[in-house]
Amino acid sequence: MKKLQNKLIEGTLLLTIAGFATRIIGFIYRIFLSDILGVKLLGIYQLVFPVYGICFTIYGAGIQTAISQLVASNIGAPAQKQKKDLTILKWGLFLSTILSCTLTCLVWFFASPISSRLLLEPSCAPYLQILCFLFPFCGTSACINGYFYGIKEAKVPAVTQIIEQLVRVASVVILCLALSATGEAGCRFAVIGLICGEAASCFYNCFKLYQAAHSNLKETSLAQPEKRNSSFSHRDKIVSQLLFLAFTLTTTKLVLSILHSVESIFIPAALKKFGCSAQDALSIYGILSGIAMPFILFPSSITNSFSVMILPAIAQAQAEHAEKKIRSYITLSGKYSLFIGYLFTCIFLLFGKEFGILLFHSEDAGIYIYALSWLCPFLYLSTTFTSIINGLGKTQLTFFITAIGLSVKIYFLIFLVPVYGIQAYLVGSLISQITMTLFEGFYLRHYISFSAGSFLFVPCFCLAVLGGLLKKLYLILPVPKTGILPILLLAFFCLIICLGYLFVLGRAKCIDRKDFC
């Protein structure tokens, strides 16, 4: 168990470091994009991502999770396991390539009706025609990453994230600066940058896969050859398992992705009904989805990384019938997801408005960050719980719970946002996330050893006292309104909150070094 836990923590740390690195680069990039595009075009740029999300769900997301889960639950002699793992990956790549190429053709030919009838924004059409060329690269990377997640080798996916982000940002910045591109030309280059990043990460993934397969070639060749009939039977079983699991996961994720896309598309439409002009509606959507929400999701690099690694760990523990491991993983992941959520709720409540003004020069962004701060504990915990339930093989349950949560948001969006404005959407997002977390926590309650003192009262009381004192001190200090100094000072205060929080949790025995061993 110690070895597996170390592998789990090591993978989480690698993915977390990569996640933070890419998100820091991403935030700098978003500041650059907002200056190049303006808030209206930033909103239009964001509108292509619902289409990207639906297509990725079809050709990548479900297949990646299926590969990861099947590879992780594959137990046997090393040589035979390696052979079976590569067979799973090969058929996953084959399926993904067919689907991604088909979707590339469909989006290219039907970009105009998709933009006008589905996205309700005809000007998105040329950007969709560029975007669709990244599908095959993205699908290949997703499958290979799923294989490495399954064998708990997170280094390759971690490096892949960094390569994709660096190449994307560098290509867009170079093109825009070299050609003095702004407005629509800048928006086209931003989409081209997505393709460049995905292509670079895909080539890296293929190279690392070749190295991994080649290094195990000798070991695999030493295995006793199987009989021909047995081999065909074995292969057919692998293919049927992969197809069934991929179809189940893809169908579930597709419905949820469509609901997410409906939500994204309806935000500008609902704001127009509220009385906003078309430009104001796109601007609000651009700030909310392109600045505020990514900022709230920034700390989720930790919980997302843990979620990616814990799914194959849970699947393997279940295959080994190791109930004790499963309970340990679920309790620890739930506890630390909550601790991270409390911390960033405190930081965003205290300094959310300052972040928006200092980093993005947008008072609205600061207001949205402040309002969305209450999402953090529920959002981070739900991300982890969803991955755990999927690892336990209950994908239908995660679909049902997520569908309920999204339905709550869509209800607020359709019926309340036209009456009360964007504030109704923010409230609906919080109620939706709380609902999902409660349902998932109820299902996993038998696996969790909950302590109200260490899980709730101690961390919340610590942050309330520490945060309140530091906020008063920050307001007393003569902080300039612009420049690098106020940003550094803000970062320093956030660091003090983090260190003080960790110190109190350690002294109160809420966290233990043994949890990471």
DSSP states along 301-370? HHHHHHHHHHHHHHHHHHHTT-HHHHHHHHHHHHHHHHHHHHHHHHHHHHHHHHHHHHHHS-HHHHHHHH
Query: Is residue 409 within 8 Å of 465, Cβ to Cβ?
Result: no
Q: What is the pLDDT of residue 396?
A: 81
Q: What is the pLDDT of residue 390?
A: 80
Q: What is the pLDDT of residue 221?
A: 53
Amino acid at 430: L
How many whole angstroms separate alpha carbon 129 and alpha carbon 134?
10
Which residue in this structure is represented by tokens 């990471």?
A: 516
Q: Quick one: which of 311, 315, 314, 291 has its CA closest to 303?
A: 311
Query: Is residue 282 within 8 Å of 264, Cβ to Cβ?
Result: no
Q: Which residues of 71-106 are buried (b: 16+ CB within 10 A; e: fewer)?
A: bbbbeeeebebbbbbbbbbbbbbebbbebbeebbee
Within 10 angstroms of residue 334's Cβ, the number of other Cβ atoms is 22
Query: Is residue 296 within 8 Å of 375, Cβ to Cβ?
Result: yes
Q: Which long-range contacts (CB under 8 A, 24 or more apart) does 383-386 make?
A: 383/300, 383/303, 383/304, 383/307, 383/337, 384/303, 384/306, 384/307, 384/310, 384/333, 384/334, 384/337, 385/334, 385/437, 385/440, 385/441, 385/444, 386/307, 386/440
What is the pTM assigned to this prediction? Answer: 0.74
How many whole angstroms separate alpha carbon 398 and alpha carbon 386?
6
Q: What is the pLDDT along the chain (517 residues), one digit of tens a residue?
A: 444 445 667 777 777 788 778 878 877 787 787 777 776 777 778 888 888 888 998 998 889 988 988 888 776 666 677 778 888 899 999 999 999 999 999 999 999 998 888 887 888 888 899 999 999 999 999 999 999 988 878 888 889 989 999 999 898 888 888 887 777 788 888 889 999 999 999 999 999 998 887 776 555 555 445 444 445 556 667 778 888 888 877 887 787 777 777 777 788 888 988 988 878 887 888 788 777 888 888 787 777 777 777 777 787 777 777 788 888 888 888 888 899 999 999 999 999 998 888 887 888 889 999 999 999 999 999 988 988 888 787 878 888 898 898 889 889 988 999 999 999 999 999 999 999 999 999 999 888 887 788 888 999 999 999 999 999 998 888 877 777 888 889 989 999 999 999 999 988 888 877 666 5
Q: What is the pLDDT of residue 436?
A: 93
Amino acid at 278: A
Number of separate helices (H) and strands (E) present in the chain: 22, 0
Label residue 452 exposed, middle or buried (CB < 10 Å: 0-12, 13-18, 19+). exposed
Q: Quick one: which of 292, 221, 285 has its CA closest to 46?
A: 285
